[in-house]
């Protein structure tokens, strides 16, 4: 019997099980009994399986435990061999992937675009392959709770392998509950996180050899950069911003005051430059409602009733300060 044949398995599970139980209930049956002659294929399958035996003109059932080993053991052995083979192939492809990433000018060239699921899969693989360092700049707007959960598992695994992890957020991230939870977990394992007032796009650099930046065309597309000169340039930008950042885990009064001052100054600058409220909120990494609260505070401080009055009075103050300098 082809023991791995799915058709034979279904036959035994359905008609075979019913016939076996009927023969067992009667304590065996003659070989010419209609119970077995009516289903010759099913009877033959049970005989080949070893759970039905023809002897002295009768069919008798056999303890299935005695026949089970002959069927299940070879299947289990083949399954174990398949798992071992899959593991070996996975390791082989892992070595090939590491070699592929080790050299910037691969068949894809120094730059390539990745889209959607392709991007997510590449990001998982490249971080899993990190050996020394992962640098990330994460704008607060757009990071979902699900995305942070995925990042937590990925980044904790990297940290436990001894990879150094540094991340820059905008100041607004300090008020996001899921981001705070993420930061608490990764910093406990040795990660470093800082925040800035300025707007920036997402950046990921792995081992200073591969960088990911957003595509200018659409949000779900990223550009993978392997050119060593471009990667070094992006790392330099990151380092300059890192030096200016404030530690996320420090919440002293001085840091809180500095953050409040920087965010107010940025809101003021956005208003004077004439950016729409939605654009200003995005650049600050806050919601439209939070930005509206900033404007309300500024209106109160400048005794302005309208947005136009506020912009005019702030502009006058800036001009006065400029002449004084």
What is the reported pLDDT for 315?
A: 72
| Overall domain count for the chain | 3
Nearest Cα to Cα of residue 196 among 229, 227, 226, 172: 172
- Contact assessment for residue 169 and residue 195, using Cβ atoms and an 8 Å cutoff: yes
pLDDT in tens, 261-294: 777 777 777 777 777 878 777 777 777 787 787 7
Can you tell me the mean pLDDT for 134-158? Answer: 80
CA–CA separation, 273 vs 267, rounded Å? 10
Can you tell me the mean pLDDT for 57-71? Answer: 83
Q: Which residues pair with 49 in a beta bridge?
A: none
Structure tokens at 222: 């990223």
Has residue 107 got a pLDDT over 50?
no
* 72 vs 244, residue with greater confidence: 244
Cα diameter, the chain:
118
For tokens 């192939």, what's the residue?
89
Contacts for 146 with CB less than 8 Å, ≥ 6 apart: none
In a shared domain, residues 242 and 284: no
Has residue 191 got a pLDDT over 90?
yes
In a shared domain, residues 160 and 214: yes
In a shared domain, residues 167 and 121: yes
* 137 vs 199, residue with greater confidence: 137
Residue at a domain's end among 250, 265, 288: 250
Has residue 137 got a pLDDT over 90?
yes
In a shared domain, residues 162 and 259: no
Q: Give the Å distances, CA to CA, from 242 to 72, 193, 239.
A: 60, 9, 5
Structure tokens at 298: 């500024």
Instruction: Mark out the alpha helices in the chain (DSSP H runs).
Output: 6-11, 17-25, 34-37, 40-49, 64-102, 116-128, 145-160, 177-188, 228-244, 253-272, 277-284, 288-301, 307-324
Can you tell me the mean pLDDT for 308-320? Answer: 73
pLDDT in tens, 16-53: 888 888 888 888 889 899 988 888 888 888 888 888 88
Has residue 108 got a pLDDT over 80?
no
In a shared domain, residues 313 and 203: no
Local confidence band at 325 (pLDDT 50, 70, 90 cut-offs): low
What is the reported pLDDT for 14?
A: 80
The verdict on residue 228 lying in a domain is yes
Structure tokens at 232: 């070094």
In a shared domain, residues 119 and 245: yes
Residue at a domain's end among 250, 265, 291: 250
What is the reported pLDDT for 103?
A: 46
What is the reported pLDDT for 6?
A: 74
Q: Give the Å distances, CA to CA, from 292 to 145, 193, 220, 287, 295.
A: 24, 28, 28, 9, 5
In a shared domain, residues 160 and 227: yes
Domain residues for 33?
6-62
The verdict on residue 91 lying in a domain is no
SS3 call for 213: strand
pTM of the entire structure? 0.54
In a shared domain, residues 26 and 49: yes
Distance of CA 309 to the CA centre of its chain: 47
CA–CA separation, 231 vs 208, rounded Å? 6
In a shared domain, residues 29 and 131: no
- Contact assessment for residue 207 and residue 136, using Cβ atoms and an 8 Å cutoff: no
Can you tell me the mean pLDDT for 226-246? Answer: 93
Local confidence band at 297 (pLDDT 50, 70, 90 cut-offs): confident
Rounded-to-10 torsion of CA 163, 169, 174, 176: -90
**Burial class of residue 90, CB neighbours in 10 A (0-12, 13-18, 19+):** exposed
What is the reported pLDDT for 240?
A: 93
What is the reported pLDDT for 2?
A: 46
Can you tell me the mean pLDDT for 74-87? Answer: 85
In a shared domain, residues 188 and 141: yes
Mean of the per-residue pLDDT values for the chain? 81
Structure tokens at 66: 């005695």
Residue 312 belongs to domain with CATH number: 1.10.10
pLDDT in tens, 147-182: 778 888 889 999 999 999 999 998 878 877 888 888
The verdict on residue 30 lying in a domain is yes
In a shared domain, residues 123 and 246: yes
- Contact assessment for residue 193 and residue 246, using Cβ atoms and an 8 Å cutoff: no
In a shared domain, residues 246 and 271: no
Q: What percent of the chain has pLDDT over 90?
A: 20
Has residue 238 got a pLDDT over 90?
yes
Residue at a domain's end among 24, 41, 62: 62
What is the reported pLDDT for 280?
A: 78
Helix (H) or strand (E) holding 115: strand 111-115
Has residue 101 got a pLDDT over 60?
no
């Amino acid at each position: 019997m082809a023991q791995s044949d799915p058709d034979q398995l279904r036959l035994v599970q359905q008609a075979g099980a019913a016939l076996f139980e009927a023969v067992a209930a009667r304590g065996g049956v003659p070989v010419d009994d209609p119970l077995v002659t009516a289903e010759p294929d099913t009877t033959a399958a049970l005989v080949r399986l070893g759970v039905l035996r023809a002897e002295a003109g009768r069919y008798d059932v056999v303890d299935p435990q005695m026949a089970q080993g002959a069927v299940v053991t070879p299947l289990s052995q083949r399954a174990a061999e398949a798992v071992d083979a899959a593991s070996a192939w996975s390791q082989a492809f892992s070595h090939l992937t590491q070699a592929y990433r080790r050299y910037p000018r691969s068949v894809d060239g120094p730059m390539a675009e990745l889209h959607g699921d392709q991007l997510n899969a590449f990001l998982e693989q490249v971080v899993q392959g990190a050996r020394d360092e992962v640098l990330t700049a994460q704008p607060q707007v757009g990071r979902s709770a699900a995305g942070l959960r995925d990042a937590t598992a990925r980044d904790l695994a990297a940290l436990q392998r001894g990879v150094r992890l540094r991340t820059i957020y905008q100041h607004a991230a300090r008020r996001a509950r899921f981001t705070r939870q993420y930061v608490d977990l990764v910093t406990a394992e040795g990660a470093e996180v800082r925040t800035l007032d300025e707007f920036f796009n997402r950046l990921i650099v792995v081992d200073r050899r591969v960088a990911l930046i957003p595509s200018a065309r659409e949000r779900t597309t990223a550009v993978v950069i392997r050119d060593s000169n471009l990667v070094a340039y992006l790392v330099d930008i990151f380092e300059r911003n890192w030096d200016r950042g404030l530690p996320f885990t420090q919440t002293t009064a001085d840091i809180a005051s500095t953050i409040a001052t920087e965010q107010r100054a940025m809101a003021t600058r956005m208003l004077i430059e004439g950016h729409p409220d939605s654009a200003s909120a995005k650049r600050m990494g806050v919601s439209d409602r939070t930005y509206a609260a900033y404007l309300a505070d500024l209106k109160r401080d400048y005794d302005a009733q309208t947005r136009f009055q506020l912009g005019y009075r702030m502009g006058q103050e800036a001009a006065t300060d400029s002449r004084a300098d």
